[in-house]
């Protein structure tokens, strides 16, 4: 009997030791929620884009109109398309508050543009027109990202410097 107790005790201690080792590789915790590395990087990207672009908003009812652009260089095979995106704005985090936006995205012919039903997006403003800020400027409109955007928006002082768009 004494041998069994010692064996179970040793086994229990070994298991606790293994648990302690794996718990040392903690994931970031935000608002008491454990998040994975990809989400952590996306949240960092959200802050970077919010502080570096002219507009960041939570949008929905996204409609896309696509048209081919004139071929300005017939010597190459590149044909571009202009995607005009219209959407309702649920909340403006950076920039002039508005209920609706329109922005432009230029891609190579055949590249598909699609969005989730709701997103958070950062855009650049040039000549009174909004345009896509590029890869990495679109974020999921989950409660975690909305809370983060609101926190950044309300941080004092909020220093937006749209250097990224210049």
- pLDDT at position 138 is 94
Mean of pLDDT over the chain = 80
Beta strands of 5-137 (E only): which ranges? 29-30, 33-34, 55-68, 80-94, 100-108, 118-126, 129-132
More reliable by pLDDT, 138 or 10: 138
Residue 65: pLDDT band (50, 70, 90) is very high
Please tell me the pTM assigned to this model.
0.75
* Structural domains for the chain: 36-70+77-165 (2.40.50.120)
- pLDDT at position 40 is 92
pLDDT at residue 15 is higher than 70:
no
More reliable by pLDDT, 129 or 5: 129
H or E element in which residue 154 lies: helix 143-154
For residue 8 the two structure tokens come to 């179970």
Judge whether 64 and 82 are in contact, CB under 8 Å.
no
Residue 27 is classified by DSSP as P
More reliable by pLDDT, 16 or 126: 126
The arithmetic mean of pLDDT across residues 8-32, rounded, is 41
- pLDDT at position 96 is 92
pLDDT at residue 23 is higher than 90:
no
Q: What is the pLDDT of residues 85-99, one digit of tens each?
A: 999 999 999 999 999
pLDDT at residue 163 is higher than 90:
no
Residue 166: pLDDT band (50, 70, 90) is confident
């Amino acid at each position: 009997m004494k041998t069994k107790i010692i064996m179970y005790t040793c086994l229990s201690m070994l298991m606790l030791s293994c648990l302690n080792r794996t718990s040392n590789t903690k994931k970031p915790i935000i608002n008491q929620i454990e998040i994975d590395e990809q989400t952590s990087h996306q949240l960092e990207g959200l802050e970077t884009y919010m502080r570096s672009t002219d507009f960041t908003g939570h949008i929905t009812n996204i409609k896309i109109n696509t048209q081919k652009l004139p071929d300005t260089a017939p010597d190459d095979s590149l044909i571009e398309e202009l995607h005009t995106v219209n959407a309702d704005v649920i909340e403006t985090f950076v920039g002039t508050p508005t209920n609706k936006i329109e922005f432009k995205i230029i891609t190579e012919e055949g590249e598909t543009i699609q969005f989730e039903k709701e997103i958070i997006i950062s855009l650049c403003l040039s000549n009174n027109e909004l345009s896509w800020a590029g890869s990495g400027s679109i974020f999921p409109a989950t409660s975690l990202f909305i809370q983060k955007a609101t926190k950044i928006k309300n941080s004092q002082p909020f220093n937006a410097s749209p250097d990224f768009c210049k």
